[in-house]
A = this chain, B = another copy of it.
Amino acid sequence: MSKPLRRDAQHNRDKLIAAAAAVFTERGIDAPLEEIARQAGVSIGTLYNRFPSRAALFDAVFPDRLANSLMFGDQALACEDPWDGFVLFVTRLCELQAGDRSLNDLITRRFPDATAVAEACGNGLDKATQVIDRAQRAGALRPDFTFADLVTLTWANARIVAATQDTAPTAWRRHLAFLLDGLRATAAHPVDEPPLTPEQLDAAMRA
Contacts and interface: CB of A to CB of B under 8 A. Distances in A.
Contacts of A164: 196, 200, 204
Given A182-B180, A184-B187, A207 B171 contact: no
Interface string A165-177: 0111011011101
So how many copies of this chain end up in the complex? 2
A79 interface: no
Given A167-B200, A200-B167, A200-B168, A178 B149 contact: yes
Interface stretch (A37-45, A53-61, A154-162): A154-162
Contacts of A175: 149, 152-153, 156
A182 B47 CA distance: 48
Nearest to A146: B174
B196 A171 contact: yes
Contacts of A189: 177, 181
A203 B167 CA distance: 7
Contacts of A184: 187
Contacts of A163: 108, 155, 204-205, 207
A186 interface: yes
Given A170-B193, A178-B179, 12 more contacts: A108-B159, A108-B163, A142-B181, A145-B178, A156-B160, A167-B200, A167-B203, A171-B204, A174-B191, A177-B189, A178-B182, A181-B183
9 contacts: A108-B163, A152-B160, A158-B159, A164-B204, A166-B207, A170-B193, A174-B194, A180-B182, A181-B189
